Amino acid sequence: MRSSMQRALDLNRRISLREAAQLWSLSDVIYIGPTGPAARRLPEFKAFRQIADNTEITEEQIFGLLHHESPAVAGYALELLIRRGSLRLDEASTLISDRLGEVSMGLGCLVCFQPLGAYARNRILAEQASSSNGG
């Protein structure tokens, strides 16, 4: 069941990082692409793309979200840094490496929950492997 925040957020206008974080905090899944059998683009994913493309939001502002109490918000911050090609991914991973709150990445139909720290290590390793393979 979608919350009123998820239903009411107007993603046809530019949203703030604070509004996106509020939305992301309502879930334990990090949506970085279309999800489910119908490849739905959920509000969380739309907000992620909008924030990633908003050049007025600085890397420092995104880094601040790594300290958010919600593991999902911290996970989205990591994904934003990956998407923007940050050179500080190891620093970001270190900041959240001990966090045990569970998250899952929503991409396609598979869901696998893991502690945020493990998620961060796995995502950064995957990103490094992809970069070294020219992907």
Q: How does pLDDT run across 22-34, given as a tens digit for each residue?
A: 999 998 889 888 8
Model confidence at 132: pLDDT above 60: yes
* DSSP-H helix ranges across the chain: 4-8, 17-24, 43-53, 59-64, 71-83, 89-96, 116-132
pLDDT tens digit string along 70-121? Answer: 999 999 999 999 999 999 999 999 999 999 999 988 766 777 899 999 999 9
pLDDT of res. 32: 83
Considering only residues 75 and 42, tell me which one the structure prediction assigns the higher pLDDT: 75
d(Cα 119, Cα 40) in Å, to the nearest integer?
A: 23
